Amino acid sequence: MKYVFSFLFFLFFIVLVGCGQGNSVGGGDQVQEPAPFYVGEIVGIDGRSLLVEGTSETYDSEQFYFRIEEDTQIVDASGEKLTLEDIRLGVEVEIWLNEEKPDIMESYPPQAYAGKIKVK
């Protein structure tokens, strides 16, 4: 009886592992980009800071200030590099936090460092 139970457990484990979502063989090596931290419209530009009005799935604030540093990536929807001077009021953006400075400063509106900005 002990061997039957062990065999069934082993069989269940093999089936469970076989149904997992692993990498496919022969292609599909694309790295999926994580979801943006904040999505919205630029409503203010103050030097190297953007005031964005929008939403976040992980933080509850209708507006957010994002500071832009020299290492902040700014790209358009196709991935082409842009500069801060290319950004205008009213533009829709997706923003990812700076991984080295992920802290959110508790103010109103809250502030954070942008790691990547994608202009839609």
Amino acid type, 98: N
pLDDT of residue 24: 47
With respect to residue 66, please indicate whether it lies within any of the assigned structural domains: yes
With respect to residue 14, please indicate whether it lies within any of the assigned structural domains: no
With respect to residue 12, please indicate whether it lies within any of the assigned structural domains: no
- Which residue range is the domain that position 69 belongs to? 36-73
With respect to residue 53, please indicate whether it lies within any of the assigned structural domains: yes
Cα–Cα distance between 88 and 20 in angstroms, integer? 45
E strands within the chain? 38-46, 49-55, 63-67, 73-76, 92-97, 111-119
With respect to residue 110, please indicate whether it lies within any of the assigned structural domains: no
With respect to residue 116, please indicate whether it lies within any of the assigned structural domains: no
With respect to residue 52, please indicate whether it lies within any of the assigned structural domains: yes
**Total domain count, the chain:** 1
pLDDT of residue 31: 74
With respect to residue 119, please indicate whether it lies within any of the assigned structural domains: no
pTM for the model: 0.72
pLDDT of residue 32: 85
Token pair of 65 as six digits: 């200030």
Token pair of 37 as six digits: 């931290």
Closest CA to 115 of 47, 104, 102: 102
pLDDT of residue 29: 61
For the chain (length 120 residues), average pLDDT per consecutive 10?
53 53 54 92 97 96 97 96 96 97 94 97
